A = this chain, B = another copy of it.
Amino acid sequence: MPKDTFFNLPEEKRTRVEEAAIDEFASYTYETASVNRIVDGAGIAKGSFYQYFKDKKDLYKHIMNIIIQKKLEYMSPTITNPFEVDVFTLLREMYKSGLSFALSHPKLLEIGNKLLLDPSHDIYKEIMEENKARSDEVFLLILKAAKDRGEIREEIDLEMASYLLTNLNIAVSDYYMKKSEKHEYSKDMMKTIDKFIDFIQYGMTNTKGGD
């Protein structure tokens, strides 16, 4: 947690620091991100930084909390009653939220992905422990309920499927970001998600009754 000094700051200055940090962590991993560059970018003195934050990790966790907060804002309307719609509708909503978040906050997405991609480092475990609900655990609960309702095939390995859904979630955002330069909620975006859910739902095969 940042110190009181940071929260007492005039909003303009506080966001200036946060935005400099977001720029830095979007461009560099936690390890290679530089406090020196951040204070330069924010136009504050090095000493001031350590009036606001205990250390680099303190700032990083603060930014992660902003990300989680922002992401929850995008998700909440979908997640409120996760077990009251069929699983593919729910997945569609979740991916829509995820992609919408990605388009509105590409830098935040970048920071989050950079973290997810380096699960070996200590900072990963620390943050995941502080923010329990990991994505694949959420998916697992949803998929279990869906299987109980008979919406997905019996023989699907749920644990694996939820793991894959998590990774695909990241991949689909990356894919769309790479393809589209507009970065706006568009029909393209819905098409991307539809194709994607279609893939998950029916697979690629053409022999519909096959096996």
Contacts and interface: CB of A to CB of B under 8 A. Distances in A.
Interface of A: 27, 29, 31-32, 87-88, 114, 117-118, 120, 150-157, 160-161, 163-164, 167-168, 170-172, 175, 192, 195-196, 198-206, 208-211
Given A27-B120, A152-B205, 12 more contacts: A152-B204, A153-B205, A155-B195, A156-B199, A164-B172, A164-B175, A164-B199, A167-B167, A200-B204, A201-B203, A208-B208, A209-B209
A163 B37 CA distance: 35
Nearest to A170: B167
A151 B208 contact: no
Contacts of A153: 202, 204-206
Contact of A208 (B164, B199, B209): B209
A205 B32 contact: no
A207 B204 CA distance: 15
Contacts of A120: 27
